Structure 1
């Protein structure tokens, strides 16, 4: 059926559509949590597609018909959050015996929000991380994402304020979940 969500791995060819989806998601779903200035600044400095996730085969997209409904995934690398443009990234590999796999860059098109699509991507990410030997997951949640991640079994592990070079401060919530 055309309206059933179809999860698949993202490819480099998907990137322009995923970047547009990401911007729609951040601008619409974050507006009750972050100011317009914070949203603009975060789109420039933090939020973006991480090409390494696509290259690693750990980043998904969900299609509903011919619409990109969502994107998100997981990582076996040290970087916890941020697109290719974000500062402080690390391509170092994690050790599944001691490190948590990273849940990365979940964005849902506002037209498809609250339909279980993020949960679908999370199940796929958990299964893939578990298959590689990881026993826990961690993520850096945006404020609008916190309720979803709590509902999916993640617990807050603190708070984090990302200070951008332009002076903006973007609050996040680090979260963790055991798997397996």
Structure 2
């Protein structure tokens, strides 16, 4: 059977479609792992960092013309969150000392369990490796944790991000070596 999916780098023209995808993914995936209050609070801490698009490090997967998955990597210090998230840093990472960041991974629930998360992760790891990074680091939601573990990421630290409304959303920092044989 032919693979119906294609991929490309995202452009700023994709922003509306990416926002819809992210909202659909949060609403469709997180309720299986979080309380309704935590799921709603996740919109406050998650989202797209448009710096990834500007840097040319954010991939989208399409089914025809529809964006059904997205995810990126970064050579900048910000570990997670969107444009609206506090604590962002545009500082460039040193590939010899610091890990690349895997960021803003979303898959439409209508296209879940088809290998799209793995595909985006592989695209990101390949690009980060080509940029000289030997490690990758990410912050996983509870919904993303099984995928990242299956792809070789190890939990470094579990924590909660407390939103402005005081809701604690559980997350995990994970990492993986990129310079080992696959």
Superposed displacement of residue 66, structure 1: 2.2
1:130 aligns to 2:147 (yes or no): no
Q: Which runs of 5+ in 1 are unaligned?
A: none
Q: Is the 8 A contact 1:102 1:138 kept in 2?
A: yes
Q: How many residues align?
A: 179
Q: RMSD of aligned C-alpha atoms? A: 1.2
The TM-score with structure 2 as length reference comes to 0.95
SS at match of 1:99: coil
CA deviation vs aligned residue, 1:48-81 (integer Å, no higher than 9, x gap)? 1110000000001100112211000100000000
SS at match of 1:157: strand
CA deviation vs aligned residue, 1:84-143 (integer Å, no higher than 9, x gap)? 001111110100000000000000000001101111111111111011110000000000
Q: Distance in 2 between matches of 1:40 and 1:150?
A: 25
Alignment-derived partner of residue 45 in structure 2:
46
2-11 vs 49-58, which moves further: 2-11
Superposed displacement of residue 3, structure 1: 5.7
Moved over 6 A (4+): none
Shift of the 54–77 alpha-carbon distance from structure 1 to 2, 3 Å rule, reads same
Q: Distance in 2 between matches of 1:35 and 1:66?
A: 34
Q: Distance in 2 between matches of 1:84 and 1:40?
A: 18
Q: Is the 8 A contact 1:3 1:64 kept in 2?
A: no
